[in-house]
Amino acid sequence: MSKYTEDDLREELKTKEYEYGFYTDIESETFPNGLNEDIVRAISKKKEEPEWMTEWRLEAFKVWKKMTEPEWANVQYEKPDFQAISYYSAPNSKPKYDSIDEVDPELLATFEKLGISLDEQKKLAGVAMDVVVDSVSVATTFKETLAEKGIIFMSISEAIKEHPELVKKYIGTVVPQKDNFYAALNSAVFSDGSFCYIPKGVRCPMELSTYFRINQAGTGQFERTLVIADEGSYVSYLEGCTAPSRDENQLHAAVVELIALDDAEIKYSTVQNWFPGTAEGKGGVYNFVTKRGLCEKNAKISWTQVETGSAVTWKYPSCVLKGDNSIGEFYSIAVTNNFQQADTGTKMIHLGKNTKSTIISKGISAGKSQNSYRGLVQISPRAENARNFSQCDSLLMGNECGAHTFPYIEVKNKSAQIEHEATTSKIGEDQIFYCNQRGIDTEKAIALIVNGFSKEVLNKLPMEFAVEAQKLLEISLEGSVG
Amino acid sequence: MELKEKLVSSFMAFENTIDIDSPVHDIRVDAIKNFEAEGFPTKKQEAWKYTSLNSVLKNDFSVFPKETGALDYKDVKQYFIHDIDSYKIIFIDGKYSSHLSATTHDGIDVCLMSAALNKPKYKLIIDNYFNKIATKDSLSSLNTAFSAEGAYIHIPKNKVVEKPIQIIHFSTGNEAALMLQPRNLIVVGENSHVQIIERHQSLTDNPTLTNSVTEIFANKRAIVDYYKIQNDKQSASLIDNTFINQKQESIAKVHTFSFGGKLTRNNLNFYQNGERIDSTMKGITIIGDKQHVDHNTLVHHIEPNCESHQDYKGIFDANSTGVFNGKVVVEKEAQKTNAFQANNNILVSDKATINTKPQLEIFADDVKCSHGCTIGQLDESAMFYLRSRGIPEKEARGLLMYAFSNNVLDSVAIPEIKSRITKLIAQKLGVNIGFDL
């Protein structure tokens, strides 16, 4: 094969179109554009929510009105007009299906294209799906298996009706309504999302997963996810998303709250592939997400993310290590191409004694994109023997992109041990030469190097997800990942 | 009256005391407007997130010292690096002390900013260099507005200055509270080499605030070696703004030794305007009770094939706070840049705080940039090793801490400074060991 150089790769990256850019035409019931108290009430009513929930939303809306959009992130974009967005959209054929045959065939075809055909999933033991198209949960599988173990896995709107005591107790405890601009907005208008409760001592037998899609023109998605792992339980939760190709900017402001009670463990993995905009930087999804987990005694929360999509990403999955001996982990690969901008990272707040956190962040920038890591490691005065290790590596392809690192480290306890290192590099000619010398052609060599670069994070993904993550990396950096 | 208003209203009076027709008049007027618009920085600004000036600014500083206190050399000898021959530019309460100084015009100019600003023969230099790289932020602007006195050093082409230059600012406590704003300009010609030692020293328990600006221009292949010794009294605060503009193949090194003072803020900015430039900034910070040291560094890599090295070590005891905010910017033209940044810290006390933020902003792909940052304690097994060999705990701790900070001293080119700093480290760590043995 002829010589494959980095220039070729760059050329390929430039021309690579978004593969999953298709649009499913399902009749949707959509609210008029704009946001006011009535819309918030209407959403709540539509979802047949109890009074306390409506009040909770209104409270968030009141706070939101007083807040201004944050500007500290290292991203530039045209601010969305929050009055030009429709805050609710539900697929029209909404009955709850008993079997998969009843599901809208067009919808099924959509899933097929995404490689998540439901019937196949049903046969392949392991993954239960709570599929979200736009904002309403349409199909839920494996519910019986989970129910046997006492695991509650349903859409959050169902949970509000069926398990109000759990939702009421935990919602907003990790990400309060007034946490930030987008979290407040989400709290006011969230349409749906997933709810998961693992009872005491139960080890969830399968990976739980949801797929999010933005489907209706001009509809912002405001997902709310709440995962509660009771004492001594374990759950691995997968979240992945692809969105149709669209010219106008779409807003996605989700909130994810994880609560790991004593001795519990939550593993939360995300593959994010929202539409990144065209090669000219037109369109693309704005992804402003608030994700946070709370660890009680001996608990562990592990965030793994593969970020390949979105025009603008603003996302900091964080851990509050409240309990003694709790552990927080963050593994991230962020790939930006063309005009994408990503400002992502994590916060590790050490409050308890003997708490540990690990941060591994890999940024790959190509084209004219900007990729930032922004992280905070905070050791409070009472967090004896806290331990943190952070590593941020950036790989630059071409000299029109940028890589930025903004690590904040605040330590108020002398027994803390903090290590932070960051490197920036390109694919070395000597590395490629070394591979060539041993009979590996340049394309494979680049694949090998990028793969090796992100391996630490890819390894952390559950088996079921690793394949998809690989696929998404391929789309974003075709030719560089084997 | 708030200090800001006081400064702004004093400006007119200040302008009247000096030559209003001077070429820098317009620069001063612009600067005071700038300061008036921005005011003192607050914690809301990202660059001042971890450092608050409030506790310092509440003092009722007098802006102009009324009379000069006189000092005997024997009383202040200890603050000089006295065991070497050197040029000296000494100020007492902001006024030049000819008695303690040793300046020169012999081939090089080591003299006063006031002379350079007023005498026509320096006009060309002032026009070309004065206030050319100092940023327009509020504190630098404030200094620019009141710039009248300080050190002026001009080394022409192809000169190796045979002895170091010491710049020392004393404050004697003639005023209840004194604010000083020294302004230094250092221009080093092609192929020239100069070593400079700078120190601010208060001799009183009356509060002092120094807002200093130093502009350094290193022309082609020049070598500038700069040492800042900060071991001031608990009553003294220092905001030190240093700007270094480097031309191709020049080498600039700044070592900052921060051992004392109530609040010390070092804004150190390097701009690399040429190829194959080498910039080094290193620092040792050892502080204790209620002291606050903030190192804010910027290296701006603008052209290809340059290097920068940063190495800051900190040991923080009692209620002290340490801040490190290092920023490396690599422009997209600056290919083949090597930029390294390290910040290592030891917290000795539970009440001490360290906030660090090492930032990289990289727009070029063919670069090697890394930063490392650690916060930790002394290795218990190393302690055990030393103690098992009969070294008392305190001394063992001292030895390990010295070893921790030692490699910053490797690049110090003046042996006398090295031994002085070594002694200071021993003193700060409370041990009586001659580490240089």
| Closest-CA distance of chain B to residue A20, Å | 30
> Per-residue pLDDT tens for A436-453?
999 988 777 776 777 788
Among residues A134, A279, A105, A298, which one has the least CA distance to residue A211?
Answer: A134
Q: Angle at Cα A59 formed by Cα A57 and Cα A64, nearest 5°?
A: 90
| Overall domain count for chain A | 1
Q: Please report the pLDDT score of residue A242 as a whole number.
A: 52
- Indicate the DSSP class of residue B160: B
Q: Quick check: B367 and A424 CB within 8 A?
A: yes
Mean pLDDT of A106-111: 53
pLDDT of residue A23: 53
Q: Is the pLDDT of residue A295 over 90?
A: yes
Centroid of chain to Cα A440: 35
Contact criterion met (CB < 8 Å) for B356 and A413:
no
In tens, the pLDDT along A218-233 reads 445 788 889 999 999 9
Mean per-residue pLDDT over chain A, rounded: 77
Q: Is the pLDDT of residue A88 over 60?
A: yes
CA separation for the pair B334, A256 (Å, rounded) = 41
Give the nearest chain A residue to B345 (CA atoms).
A418
pLDDT band at B19 (very low <50, low <70, confident <90, very high): low
What residues in A contact B332, CB-CB < 8 Å?
Answer: 399-400
Q: Tens digit of pLDDT for each residue in B69-80?
A: 678 888 888 888
Inside any domain, residue A197: yes
Cα angle: B69, vertex B183, B99; to 5 degrees: 35
What's the pLDDT band for B51 if we cut at 50, 70, 90?
Answer: very high
> Could you tell me if A269 and A233 are in contact, meaning their C-beta atoms sit under 8 angstroms apart?
no
A202 closest CA partner among A116, A271, A280, A264: A264
Query: pLDDT per residue over A40-80, tens digit each?
Result: 888 888 788 888 888 889 988 988 888 888 888 788 887 77
Q: How confident is the model at residue A286 (pLDDT cuts 50, 70, 90)?
A: confident
Cβ <8 Å between B347 and A400: no
The structure tokens listed for A204 are 């969830």
With CA atoms as reference, report the closest residue to B88 among B207, B198, B219, B242. B198
pTM for this prediction: 0.83
Write out the H or E segment, with its range, that includes residue B128.
helix B123-129
Contact between B222 and B193 under an 8 Å Cβ cutoff? The reply is yes
What is the pairing mode between strands B178-180 and B151-155? unpaired
Share above pLDDT 70 across residues of chain A, in percent, rounded to a whole number: 74
Specify the pLDDT at position B354: 93
Pairing status of strand A194-198 against strand A152-155:
antiparallel
Among partner residues A411, A419, A420, which is closest to B354 by beta-carbon distance? A411
- pLDDT digit string, tens, across residues A363-398: 988 888 889 999 999 999 999 999 999 999 888 887
Q: Is the pLDDT of residue A174 over 80?
A: yes
Contacts of B377 in chain A (CB under 8 A): 414-415, 417
* Residue of B330, B375, B176, B389 lying closest to A409 (CA atoms): B375
Check whether B148 has a pLDDT greater than 80: yes
Mean pLDDT in residue range A264-282: 81
Q: Do the domain assignments include residue A57?
A: yes
How far is Cα A453 from Cα A362, in angstroms, rounded to an integer? 8
- Which one of A411, A417, A426, A446 makes the best mutation probe of the B interface by having the most chain B beta carbons within 10 Å? A411
- Of B167, B285, B272, the residue nearest B226 (C-alpha): B167
The answer as to whether A306 is a domain residue is yes
Query: Is the minimum CB–CB distance between A394 and chain B shorter than 8 Å?
Result: yes
Residue B376: list chain A partners with CB under 8 A. 416-419
In terms of residue numbers, what domain contains A93? 24-419
For chain B, report the end-to-end CA distance as a whole number of angstroms. Answer: 54
In a domain, A460, yes or no: no
pLDDT per residue over B179-222, tens digit each? Answer: 999 999 999 999 999 999 999 999 988 999 999 999 999 999 99
Query: A420, A390 in Cβ contact below 8 A?
Result: yes
Instruction: Calculate mean pLDDT across residues A19-34.
Output: 59
Mean pLDDT score, B127-154: 92
Residues of chain B contacting A, Cβ within 8 Å: 46, 50, 332, 335, 345, 347-377
CA-CA distance, A77 to A281, in Å (whole number)?
11
Q: Give the gap in angstroms from C-alpha B376 to the nearest C-alpha of chain A.
A: 4
Please tell me if residue A92 touches chain B, with a CB cutoff of 8 Å.
no
pLDDT band per the 50, 70, 90 thresholds, residue A7: low
> Which among B282, B275, B100, B253 has a CA at the least distance from the CA of B188?
B253
ipTM, 2 decimals?
Answer: 0.83
The first and second tokens of residue B351, run together, are 């009440």
pLDDT reported for residue A109: 55
A–B: how many Cβ contacts below 8 A?
A: 117
For A421, which residue in chain B has the nearest alpha carbon?
B372
pLDDT > 90: what percent of chain B?
A: 58
Is A402 in CB contact (< 8 Å) with chain B?
yes
Contact A396 B365 (CB under 8 A): yes
The residue among A237, A244, A245 whose CA lies nearest residue A293 is: A237
- A contacts of B375 (beta carbons < 8 Å): 409, 411, 416-418
Place of tokens 């490691």: A377
A305-331 tens-digit pLDDT: 888 878 888 889 999 999 999 999 999
Taking a C-beta distance cutoff of 8 angstroms, is the pair B133, B271 a contact? yes
- d(C-alpha A284, C-alpha A287), whole Å: 9
Query: Which residues have C-beta within 8 Å of that of residue A147, sequence separation ≥ 6?
Result: none
For testing the chain B interface, which of A405, A423, A427, A449 should be mutated: the one with the most B CBs within 10 Å? A405
The helix (H) or strand (E) run that includes residue B269 is: strand B263-272
CB crowding A62-72: b at 16 or more within 10 Å, else e: ebbeeeeeeee
Residue A202 lies in a domain: yes
Question: Does residue B73 sit in helix, strand or coil?
Answer: helix
